[in-house]
Structure 1
Amino acid sequence: MSDKGGGTEAQRYAWGGAVPLQIHLDDSEVTTLPPPPPALILAPRLGYLPLLVSQIKPFFSSSLPPGADTVWFEYKGLPLKWYIPTGALFDLLCAEPERPWNLTIHFRGYPGNILTPCEGEDSVKWSFINALKEAAYIINGNCKNIMNMSQSDQAELWRSVLNGQLEAYVRVSSKLKLDIVGDEFSLKLNSSTPKSDQTVNTDLDATGTTRTGKVPVRLYIRTIDEDIDDIEDAPIVDSWEKISYINRAVEFHGEEKCFSLHDAIKYLLPEMFTEEVAPTVGSSDTGEAQVEEGEQISGADSSTEKVLRPEIKLVRIQGIEPRLEIPFSWVVNNLMNPEHYLHISIYLKLVPIS
């Protein structure tokens, strides 16, 4: 897991990740015969859909009706929130990943009642900067380092994100002092590497465990009906009201016991757990999310007094479905998005309590 060349090997994989898209122009906006074929494009996982418009529009410009562009994307009837990274949207909305991912693009009729306004790259940039400020406040208790960035550093940081340049990003972001946790797991993997080639977090305590840390997390929860056996049969999401969204920090302390991804999910969703469970996804006797016996949760049918509990069926981060016992510090240091939030998609299935 060397950090030569800027970032760890895992970070380089994450930054190089992309989602193949097949973009269709909405039928209501087609003014030519035959209609234009779909556009095929590779979308960076860490990027944002509006940043693709300059590449996509030439495919459809000759077919558009007159009027000003108000671009937005849709997936099976669901307008896509432009400020969520493309990879996180894909992980959340495609239970069985589509390749290519078929999206519809609109240049007219912006759904302002569902989506916040987007004025192209500038809107995405300032949304990114604001998220970075929020993350800095969570990590350090203030966002002074972000507020005091020079114009040239801010421009270089954004350009590194825009162009997927990890080395440039690491160079600029290191000035922001947003280190969260010492990754003891990776340090052990690097134990055979010469010390001159290691980047060691000096915030490890005398015993080698990690210091207290706060990790900014954006958690997206999709609940699947109890009658669905296979996750690929999950119904499409046609409303954002069907997605639970949690913007919360995970706080943990240096201790002998490894703080795992399972521990982090338990911290984020304490209401789901009432006892210690083994970190295994989708098992009937381990890794389940528990609720208090007799507690009724959303989705339970009160008329029949059926009580349901949520069971974790799938966890995705950067397109990866990690084992829940993986050290959370490794996940944070390698799979965090450039705005210093960790985006986690979780699929829950509601099952009856017997």
Structure 2
Amino acid sequence: MEAPKFVWEGAIPLQIHLHESQVTTLPPPPPALILAPRIGYLPLLAPLIKPYFSSTLPPGVDTIWFDYNGLPLKWYIPTGVLFDLLCPEPERPWNITVHFRGYPGSVLIPCEGEDSVKWSFINSLKEAAYIMNGNCKNVMNMSQSDQLELWHSVMNVARLRAAFENKKAHPGGRSSGNLEAYQRVSSKLKLATVDDEYASLCLQKSQQSVIETDLPAQAKTGRVPVRLYVLSVSKDFDDLDEIPRVDSWEKISYINRPVEIRKEDKCFTLHDALKILLPELFLDESLMNVKLGGVDLEDAVRNSNEDVTSDKVVEDQGQNACKRPEACRISSSAEIKLIRIQGIEPKLEIPFSWVANNLLNPDYFLHVCVCVKVAQ
């Protein structure tokens, strides 16, 4: 239970600057310092950020969005995932820029505030349920009160735990009980889980020390919903700060693929999961010339905004994601340089069932960031 608690309480220190084109006062306002939850979403910080900068904004309609080094940040990706993906060498505090004008509609899909974030989250939950259970009826049939309580448990941790560190800000605090509320409601969805092979192996060793028997680890067969973010770089590097900055989302591939954990005599590891998630890296051809498969995340979010009450789109996405690719030997022209999950750089030998049971986001997806060195 400790690991999920740490995931829920994980946070990124943000230093948020108002874009210079929207500063109308002298001196310009100092940046806002916020402790943003990893599992939250940047637009949910708007009620804290807007009052702080409101006195210096030009007249007009506010449409909040953020950028990092000029790259617009996609609002439907959890804050912690954005940080892991775009800051290989962790930058603390993370310096990002907030805008209230000039929404980049050619790069970001529209965000109508909290409602857009909410329905994007619910749609992800439906998709995860379909992958895990073969249908999303339990999510579709949630009562209105349960749906609101589930969403508020995520939204409140994003707002109540965000804390300004300057005199103009409203102090925030940790929201106790949100994790318990989330677990209470999400347990009603009866989403399939997998047995923790690490715990099973520990139990096996303990039993072997008492009675000399060979007990195989018992792991349930199940699918784990995974969102994979792959950053491909052509220049080799020794230190993380040498990785080129991402200046376009075209340099990042999104992949939605389930990982199926099967009953086997040996432990199914993170390395085994990567063979399923990235079969392109186990082929004798450059990743640069391969279009990574799977469901496109932005299409999924756009579809969720078009029709949030139907599960047809979710089922189509789930069916496509459940097609299991074949894994082959590692490519000589590509190399995995970095893997991050919830800010952790796990060893490839770790049991994947432990990762799946402890590092999921509230939408029941495992968000994995990978940096791949590819041949020029």
TM-score of the superposition, structure 2-length normalised? 0.78
Measured in 2, the distance between the counterparts of 1:56 and 1:154 equals 26
The amino acid across from 2:39 in the alignment is: L
Contact 1:299 1:308 in 2 (8 A): no
1:221-300 matches, cutoff 5 A: 221-273=230-282, 291-292=283-284, 295-298=285-288
Aligned length: 308
SS of equivalent to 1:103: strand
Measured in 1, the distance between the counterparts of 2:107 and 2:199 equals 42
Q: Which of residues 351, 355, 367 in structure 2 aligns to 1:343? A: 367
Measured in 1, the distance between the counterparts of 2:187 and 2:155 equals 18
Contact 1:132 1:340 in 2 (8 A): yes
Once the two structures are overlaid, the 10-residue window that deviates more, 247-256 or 258-267, is 247-256
Q: Deviations over 1:131-150 (max 9, x none)?
A: 00011111111100001001
Q: 1:55 to 1:350 in 2, by over 3 A?
A: same
2:196 aligns with 183
The amino acid across from 1:326 in the alignment is: I
Measured in 2, the distance between the counterparts of 1:207 and 1:349 equals 37
1:134-213 matches, cutoff 5 A: 134-164=127-157, 165-187=178-200, 208-213=217-222
Q: Deviations over 1:198-226 (max 9, x none)?
A: xxxxxxxx955212111110000111223
Q: What stretches of structure 2 of length at least 5 have no aligned partner?
A: 158-177, 206-214, 291-330
Measured in 1, the distance between the counterparts of 2:56 and 2:133 equals 50
Q: Which of residues 89, 107, 114 in structure 1 aligns to 2:107? A: 114
Q: Structure 1 vs Structure 2: percent identity of aligned residues?
A: 67
1:219 aligns with 228
1:51 equivalenced with 2:51 (yes/no)? no
Once the two structures are overlaid, the 10-residue window that deviates more, 259-268 or 217-226, is 217-226
Measured in 2, the distance between the counterparts of 1:236 and 1:128 equals 28
Relative to its length, the structure with more helix (as a share) is: 2
Measured in 1, the distance between the counterparts of 2:344 and 2:22 equals 36
Measured in 1, the distance between the counterparts of 2:343 and 2:147 equals 28
SS of equivalent to 2:121: helix
1:68 equivalenced with 2:57 (yes/no)? no
SS of equivalent to 1:51: helix
Contact 2:281 2:287 in 1 (8 A): no
Contact 1:71 1:108 in 2 (8 A): yes
Measured in 2, the distance between the counterparts of 1:299 and 1:41 equals 41
Measured in 2, the distance between the counterparts of 1:296 and 1:162 equals 41
Measured in 1, the distance between the counterparts of 2:147 and 2:271 equals 35
Shift in Å, 1:179:
2.6
Measured in 2, the distance between the counterparts of 1:257 and 1:187 equals 12
Shift in Å, 1:272:
1.2
Measured in 2, the distance between the counterparts of 1:187 and 1:69 equals 53
2:311 aligns with none
Measured in 2, the distance between the counterparts of 1:19 and 1:232 equals 19
Q: What stretches of structure 1 of length at least 5 have no aligned partner?
A: 1-7, 193-205, 274-290, 301-306
Q: Which of residues 332, 350, 360 in structure 2 aligns to 1:326? A: 350
Which contiguous aligned blocks of 4+ residues in structure 1 show a shift greater than 4 angstroms? 187-192
Measured in 1, the distance between the counterparts of 2:60 and 2:203 equals 57
SS of equivalent to 1:257: coil
SS of equivalent to 1:298: helix
